[in-house]
Amino acid sequence: MSGATPATFALPARFLGLARNDRDAAVCIAGIPLDIGTTNRAGARDGPAAIRRASRMLVDGAHPIHRTEPAEMDVADIGDFAIALGDIERSLALIEAQAEGLAHLVALGGEHGITLPLLRALARRTGPLALVHFDAHVDTWPDSFGQRYGHGSVFFHAIEEGLIDPHRTVQIGIRSPMGNDVHDWTLARGVRIVPAEAAHERGPAAVAEEIRAIVGDAPAYLSVDVDVLDPAFAPGTGTPEIGGLASWQLLAMLRRLGGVRFAGMDVVEVAPAYDVAEITALAAATVAWEYLAMMGRPAGP
Amino acid sequence: MSGATPATFALPARFLGLARNDRDAAVCIAGIPLDIGTTNRAGARDGPAAIRRASRMLVDGAHPIHRTEPAEMDVADIGDFAIALGDIERSLALIEAQAEGLAHLVALGGEHGITLPLLRALARRTGPLALVHFDAHVDTWPDSFGQRYGHGSVFFHAIEEGLIDPHRTVQIGIRSPMGNDVHDWTLARGVRIVPAEAAHERGPAAVAEEIRAIVGDAPAYLSVDVDVLDPAFAPGTGTPEIGGLASWQLLAMLRRLGGVRFAGMDVVEVAPAYDVAEITALAAATVAWEYLAMMGRPAGP
Amino acid sequence: MSGATPATFALPARFLGLARNDRDAAVCIAGIPLDIGTTNRAGARDGPAAIRRASRMLVDGAHPIHRTEPAEMDVADIGDFAIALGDIERSLALIEAQAEGLAHLVALGGEHGITLPLLRALARRTGPLALVHFDAHVDTWPDSFGQRYGHGSVFFHAIEEGLIDPHRTVQIGIRSPMGNDVHDWTLARGVRIVPAEAAHERGPAAVAEEIRAIVGDAPAYLSVDVDVLDPAFAPGTGTPEIGGLASWQLLAMLRRLGGVRFAGMDVVEVAPAYDVAEITALAAATVAWEYLAMMGRPAGP
Amino acid sequence: MSGATPATFALPARFLGLARNDRDAAVCIAGIPLDIGTTNRAGARDGPAAIRRASRMLVDGAHPIHRTEPAEMDVADIGDFAIALGDIERSLALIEAQAEGLAHLVALGGEHGITLPLLRALARRTGPLALVHFDAHVDTWPDSFGQRYGHGSVFFHAIEEGLIDPHRTVQIGIRSPMGNDVHDWTLARGVRIVPAEAAHERGPAAVAEEIRAIVGDAPAYLSVDVDVLDPAFAPGTGTPEIGGLASWQLLAMLRRLGGVRFAGMDVVEVAPAYDVAEITALAAATVAWEYLAMMGRPAGP
Amino acid sequence: MSGATPATFALPARFLGLARNDRDAAVCIAGIPLDIGTTNRAGARDGPAAIRRASRMLVDGAHPIHRTEPAEMDVADIGDFAIALGDIERSLALIEAQAEGLAHLVALGGEHGITLPLLRALARRTGPLALVHFDAHVDTWPDSFGQRYGHGSVFFHAIEEGLIDPHRTVQIGIRSPMGNDVHDWTLARGVRIVPAEAAHERGPAAVAEEIRAIVGDAPAYLSVDVDVLDPAFAPGTGTPEIGGLASWQLLAMLRRLGGVRFAGMDVVEVAPAYDVAEITALAAATVAWEYLAMMGRPAGP
Amino acid sequence: MSGATPATFALPARFLGLARNDRDAAVCIAGIPLDIGTTNRAGARDGPAAIRRASRMLVDGAHPIHRTEPAEMDVADIGDFAIALGDIERSLALIEAQAEGLAHLVALGGEHGITLPLLRALARRTGPLALVHFDAHVDTWPDSFGQRYGHGSVFFHAIEEGLIDPHRTVQIGIRSPMGNDVHDWTLARGVRIVPAEAAHERGPAAVAEEIRAIVGDAPAYLSVDVDVLDPAFAPGTGTPEIGGLASWQLLAMLRRLGGVRFAGMDVVEVAPAYDVAEITALAAATVAWEYLAMMGRPAGP
């Protein structure tokens, strides 16, 4: 709250107010306003702008535990990726192309469908990735209501295409209805599912420890579907499920993943039209900020 | 308000509470929950359900002027058309196929993009149609931000494909910014544009008279984009423009089109996530009800 | 805006901030939080409190045309009438009893059902009243979905009980669907219906002149159902109908009724849960304020 | 998410999309849109419709823990019960009559007052029932602000009429202010009260174990007032109290009640006008779905 | 809607998407996020950001009547002016200093209090200005509830300080309560007041002609308080008054002021927290866009 | 819920419906509608009125654990303090003067800036106070974005002025970003910070015990910034931070502070324009009610 900067409400709506916008930064923030593959409520296209606005609360000061300052790091907000209106497959190709060549991408969705092309672009460089996946849904359906590359089939394809290593994949917060066949397929691939109730009962420290054990020292990707939070904490999303995590639990897990070798992340499925007092957008912004703050500190749990 | 029926709030959410749902009715109501071609706010996919809920206010009783009772006519609510998630071109093909064989369709959108396949299905039977088009936008862009068949290029294609006769086409309520080239192209085709301000200044009776003169006795189609109304009257839409019509003006024009040989209609672009107190959905429901009430009476202005 | 009073936001929520609360005032304001007879959306019980809060905008200063100052008149806010939860008939009896003995009552609803007991209490003293009735609905159904004394049958009973003189009754803004039998019964009684569209086309001055002619010099009652306004102007109500009046038109008519011998009034059907930015409550508060301002000036149109 | 069904947003608004609507099913779902006995905010009349819409998120797939599929069970959505507008006592009689003869009813409220006639209909067949009651309020006032059969006196009457066995009655989540006399009366009858804070401190597994011990093998009824949840999780209700349960806790308790011999249930007090992003309606829908999923599995904790 | 630009929802939130941000442009757009002098609802500090977001609807294409393209003109968005938190007098001094040296300023408020320092900066260069003032309130109170430079005393001070010529000042849309002394003072200074009702009755063309006659060829300033619009059209404001203008009327007047020698303008009092579907912000953005479009065309009515 | 009182919705909006309004009560409730020093969202000026309305849920009955009845205690609602519009320093002086002479003040904010003058008035009588401070922010910045006495610098000044004893000061729920210098300064003064995550992990009973140990038997002040709650529980506030406390945790701590010698309290930063279903206002009202209920019982943990 130093006197040299404008008050929060007068800040420009760039992520953390970042002036830098070139693709050469150590970490690039990009919005990906795709939502045409969603299967319940629409509107995730407006997620990136809402997350940026909400991030203004986080511009000034250090993380209270890590003591690092994300807004002072080697990070740029490179704006939004172009997509193809009305055509999901062409949109995925465009996203993959734009992700190429970035050192480390933090993507602001947009629907969860954007994760597949991001993994394609990344795995080409790193090989199969470990995956830390916070979500209410496993997203391993072979299709989304008949749509091959919808937001419910992302990790089916990621596994089938060898982009992620299912034995180094952990899904936390799962609780939606799902076909028993989908459930069994996922478990049979070796994916570790931590249901929402288990996460509540065991507490964030224990779950974080398990995540670190599963991921090990593989290059890893973090994908946070904001609907991992309970709708009380994240009403502004398209496919809510009750019984989800509290925001403090999500943050408490993230800040205990310090030793993981993350190569990229996304936070997706913010649908601002259903939000209240921008609390969902703020949750998503804080997740990205927490990730940056964690990266800025020495490794270790 | 007879005692034999449940109160409004306890009615099922079918259009006008219609129990009938077969495709053989003289008039079929169908929802078309497509919105992936929209270019600003999403959410028109939820339009059909919201319009049906709002139509419960109109179940009981006759039109106060025409004295006809839409809910007692030969009309069915046949549910929603199937669409292809994430693929606009395949969705348009599906819509066209499902419209085939219906005697007279009243379509509840969904985005304006649905009108093109409905015109394709209809014009095959009738030849080029006269068009009565209420909208804030001319929708004659050759593409919508690079998307060939988006909601802004409907009537460009309808003219190019010979589905409508531009000399028997009238657009009422136009007021958005538009490229001068698009504006000139539209006028050059012979389309009559009645800007919103002119509609306000001249009054609904005079505009309705001009509409009837333009359309003449050709088979005609009515397409009502709910954004023809001012955002005060229709906040729940994707591409609002201020300066629009009041709802009484729209109704006053519609009820003076009694002699036109309408072969079908749609009301589109209701996006309930942005609505307040369901007033936009009620406006759309009332437009369809007004159309039915008008059809039930003897011809004449 | 004098410095001696607190700013608008800091005023207490009494009608016009009135400190006076005794029943001996020349005019008494009372809230009547009844809504159990409503047939679509509930919540008019919260109308009185919302109207009082909104009235804070009107505390300070004179009417810009009449130059009178309602907050300085001989007027009291006597709080809310007691009602019987879950029992409409007993509630009506309670309302009638509490209205007894007041010199001149301005009632803040609550649903339209409250008007019947108010007319019973008043007509006992004055004989059959002339009625100036602004509404989207005629409210002359013999029952409301099987309920004898619901909000849709108020004026049926008022006519049947001889409380109002149908030949001196005028209904302005009517536009809802209604059974042709109800419509015909109402006209046959001698009631003058001015449909919403006619009010728009003729303008407020002409309609006001007709109202004055119909009412003449009989003692009169003013009943304003806030749904006479278009839902754009009054979303916060239970049974909205599009095509309604603009708020300026309602005010313009009211301020031209200066010569009428009003003996009481109500403004009803504000349902704050559906309001936005309290615009409906403000409309209702302004209607009551306009009425008071009109009463404070010399008679004449 | 199989390709054979429409996407969530295109499903019809029946509970779990159930096509079946006859009264002969093993379990019948019915809405009961009564709210005229509420004492704070109105609007629970719209609960059934909102719960049905929200239930569309739960149509497709199995419960992730029980592995059962409610939408595939012997269950029907039989629509809404008729009520008497403006007359609570006659409404209760109507509800009781309509509940007669159903094998097993899952009722969607409506206010909590509906539970009394449902218990009357059920206890006639089963004798005094054990009661599992989730709520912020004990609802054992002898009257509700002077109203004998309001939503605050349900279980006073149920005990007085011998419909439930107070020694087999447990109330979880209690936290509202209440008269010490009411509090003491309830305890003296033998009712077990688990305050909200105790439920938080002890955790759902321990509380569920206590519930099973209290209920034993008696025929039991489950009544869930959605205000047992904290207003963060269930803002859309009429008489909220802070300090309530999280939705995961409620689900975690319900899914541990597998061995209880439930004969019926209700979920009540959803008031959609106060909801945000339909999270309260989704909570209520999920509670009913969780109950069905539990019933479909073999007995045992 | 050309394919070269992103869709509306993906545009950056600068006014009309303007990339240019230097102070040397022929016209500079600036936000002034001051709201601490407001006397009813707060929140106009968020007006500039909301207006910029809403302006994205206006980026692409020409004005449909003037045929000019504001986004292609010599215009820059120079961001927000700095203000002094919690200190209105110091804020006014800061605003005045920042307005110095700009060729032509279009200010986005913020509360109406910002107009006084803008007039001070401008009149120093031009001498006393003619004023075209759209508002529900005269804003000529000598103070705002005891606050010398609040949003209700702007034009009192502007007249007293000789910044505007009261004989060349016209106020359109006035309708709030006001002290008769304030009313009389304003008229006695020579100010022309066009009440809202008169604007409705006479129509925009006639009023625009009167405005041009009053202003003549003096250098002029345009100040648009968004509450000149009815709350139906502009709910998102702090001191709403019913009976206001429709948005089409405001636009119709503005586009007929082509010959006036405007030296600057502002649009103020947008309070986004009370807005619905951003319609108020869109109204304000369109007012500024209409002004720019008018400036780009040859002089004349 | 006794029949002698009106239903909750019909109660007047005084705190707990208190009729008493004199300054001689043992405890006085006062609203302080100041918000001009806020640095993100505005609108805390409307907090007092919203808290009063929400308190109607708490009028009737005893605290379910303490068994005390706040509405029956020696307590008065003395209305709102006057403030100086647009001038924060003069406002603070006014607040201090009005707090003088009250035996025990429970203040309803308004922004957190009001706590400084309240501490000034109180410490003059008691000497340096112990402080129990629930908040997301430490509020020990030396200034708020350049503003000396803004809502972020309250406790910096309170320490510097010797109003509170930093070694007897405990801050619970802290989690916002902050400069490491501010963080270190606060710790170096001797202030105990309990971060939000620690409060979650340790549980309310353990934290309450630590609070009691820190405060000891010194005269103490309780300051509750409603943003200590997670935005899910308190969306209606100006500077939300995710990861906050649940409302049950806050209540559970407060009710374990029975032995502390509190000399006054405030609950601040309720901004109703961002609230949903008044849950934030209800949280604030309940905090004040919990405090009163605790004071009414015998001392001890």
* Any domain includes B96: yes
pLDDT at D226 over 50: yes
In angstroms, the CA E15 to CA E12 distance is 9
Q: Return the structure tokens found at C157.
A: 């009973």
For residue A82, the 8-state DSSP code is P
Partnered with residue D2 across adjacent β-strands are none
Residue with tokens 């306890």, as numbered in its chain = B10
Partnered with residue B134 across adjacent β-strands are B172, B224
* Any domain includes F10: no
State the amino acid at position D133 in one-letter form.
H
Res D9: pLDDT: 81
Percent over 90 (pLDDT), chain D: 90
pLDDT at B292 over 50: yes
Contact C250, E250 (CB under 8 A): no
In angstroms, the CA E171 to CA E186 distance is 10
* Any domain includes F22: yes
Q: What integer is the mean pLDDT of E32-44?
A: 95
Res D2: pLDDT: 45
Q: Return the structure tokens found at A63.
A: 């993380």
How would residue B69 be classed by pLDDT, with cut points 50, 70 and 90? very high
> Across the interface, do B85 and D7 touch by the CB < 8 Å criterion?
yes
Residue with tokens 């719960």, as numbered in its chain = D51
In angstroms, the CA C194 to CA C110 distance is 25
Comparing CA positions, the residue from D135, D101, D141 lying closest to residue D118 is: D101
User: Which of chain A's residues have a Cβ under 8 Å away from the Cβ of F176?
Assistant: 57, 61, 64
Comparing CA positions, the residue from E50, E123, E64, E110 lying closest to residue E279 is: E50
Q: Return the structure tokens found at C187.
A: 């006209």
Beta strand ranges found along A15-156 (DSSP E): 27-32, 75-80, 105-109, 129-134
CB burial of C77-92 (b: ≥16 within 10 Å; e: otherwise) equals bbbbbbbbbbbbeebb
* Any domain includes B7: no
Over residues D245-281, the pLDDT tens digits come to: 999 999 999 999 998 999 999 999 999 999 999 999 9
Res B237: pLDDT: 98
CB-nearest to D251 from A145, A146, A243 is: A243
Count each helix (H run) and each strand (E run) in chain E, helices first: 9, 8
Size of interface A-B (CB pairs under 8 A): 69
Contact B137, B239 (CB under 8 A): yes
Look at chain F and report how many structural domains it folds into: 1
Size of interface C-E (CB pairs under 8 A): 123
For residue A59, the 8-state DSSP code is S
In angstroms, the CA B30 to CA B46 distance is 13
Min Cα–Cα distance to chain E from A15, Å: 12
pLDDT at E2 over 60: no
* Any domain includes B9: no
Contact B277, C235 (CB under 8 A): yes
Contact B6, B82 (CB under 8 A): no
Residue F69 gets the label, from left (phi > 0), alpha (psi -120 to 50) or beta, of beta
Report the binding-site residues of B: 112, 135, 137, 139, 225, 227
Contact D262, D290 (CB under 8 A): no
Sort C300 into a burial class: Cβ within 10 Å, 0-12 / 13-18 / 19+. Answer: exposed
Min Cα–Cα distance to chain A from F286, Å: 20
Q: What integer is the mean pLDDT of B78-96?
A: 95
Q: Which of A5-9, B6-10, B145-149, F234-238 has the highest mean pLDDT?
A: F234-238
Q: Return the structure tokens found at F44.
A: 């805390």
How would residue E145 be classed by pLDDT, with cut points 50, 70 and 90? confident
Over residues D200-210, the pLDDT tens digits come to: 999 999 999 99
How would residue D5 be classed by pLDDT, with cut points 50, 70 and 90? low
- Three-state DSSP class for residue F261: strand
Q: What CATH code is carried by the domain that includes residue E253?
A: 3.40.800.10
Comparing CA positions, the residue from F112, B289, A161, A8 lying closest to residue C242 is: B289
Percent over 90 (pLDDT), chain F: 90
DSSP B242-253: SS-B-HHHHHHH
pLDDT at A301 over 80: no
- Residue D104 marked in a binding site: no
- Residue E200 marked in a binding site: no
Q: Is the ipTM beyond the 0.85 threshold?
A: yes
Helix, strand, coil percent content, chain B, rounded in steps of 5: 40, 20, 40
* Any domain includes A48: yes
pLDDT at A150 over 60: yes
Contact A96, A118 (CB under 8 A): yes
CB-nearest to B7 from D10, D49, D85 is: D85
Q: Return the structure tokens found at C246.
A: 């603009």
Percent over 90 (pLDDT), chain A: 90
Cβ neighbours for A64, distance < 8 A, ≥ 6 positions apart? F174, F175, F176, F177, F178, F183, F195
In angstroms, the CA D165 to CA D174 distance is 19
How would residue A2 be classed by pLDDT, with cut points 50, 70 and 90? very low
User: Which of chain C's residues have a Cβ under 8 Å away from the Cβ of E150?
Assistant: 1
In angstroms, the CA F269 to CA F33 distance is 10
Report the binding-site residues of A: 112, 135, 137, 139, 225, 227
Res C45: pLDDT: 96
* Any domain includes D155: yes
Res E3: pLDDT: 46
Average of per-residue pLDDT values in chain F: 95
User: Which of chain A's residues have a Cβ under 8 Å away from the Cβ of B85?
Assistant: 36-37, 39, 88, 144-147, 150
> Across the interface, do E85 and F35 touch by the CB < 8 Å criterion?
no
> Across the interface, do E246 and C251 touch by the CB < 8 Å criterion?
no
CB-nearest to A240 from D64, D203, D277 is: D277
How would residue F8 be classed by pLDDT, with cut points 50, 70 and 90? confident
CB-nearest to C36 from D46, D86, D149 is: D86
**Which phi and psi (to 5°) does residue F176 adopt?**
-75, 160
Res D298: pLDDT: 59
- Residue E133 marked in a binding site: no
CB-side neighbour CA atoms (13 Å) of B110 = 29
In angstroms, the CA E221 to CA E115 distance is 10
Q: What integer is the mean pLDDT of A178-205?
A: 98
Q: Spell out the per-residue pLDDT of chain C, length 301, in tens.
A: 444 568 888 888 899 999 999 999 999 999 999 999 999 999 999 999 999 999 999 998 999 999 999 999 999 999 999 999 999 999 999 999 999 999 999 999 999 999 999 999 999 999 999 999 999 999 999 988 888 988 999 999 999 999 999 999 999 999 999 999 999 999 999 999 999 999 999 999 999 999 999 999 999 999 999 999 999 999 999 999 999 999 999 999 999 999 899 999 999 999 999 999 999 999 999 999 999 999 987 554 4
Res B113: pLDDT: 97
Res E141: pLDDT: 96
How would residue E298 be classed by pLDDT, with cut points 50, 70 and 90? low
Average of per-residue pLDDT values in chain B: 94
CB-nearest to E248 from B179, B197, B276 is: B197
> How many other C-beta atoms lie within 10 A of the C-beta of residue F210?
15
* Any domain includes A2: no
Q: Quote the domain boundaries for residue B72.
A: 15-296
Which chain D residues have any C-beta within 8 angstroms of a chain B C-beta?
6-7, 9-10, 12-13, 33, 45-46, 49, 53, 79-80, 82-83, 85
Which chain C residues have any C-beta within 8 angstroms of a chain B C-beta?
39-42, 141, 143-147, 150, 152-153, 174-180, 182-183, 195-197, 200-201, 230-233, 235-236, 239-244, 246, 274-276
Q: Return the structure tokens found at C19.
A: 């400190």
pLDDT at B107 over 50: yes
Contact D14, D25 (CB under 8 A): no
Partnered with residue E106 across adjacent β-strands are E29, E265
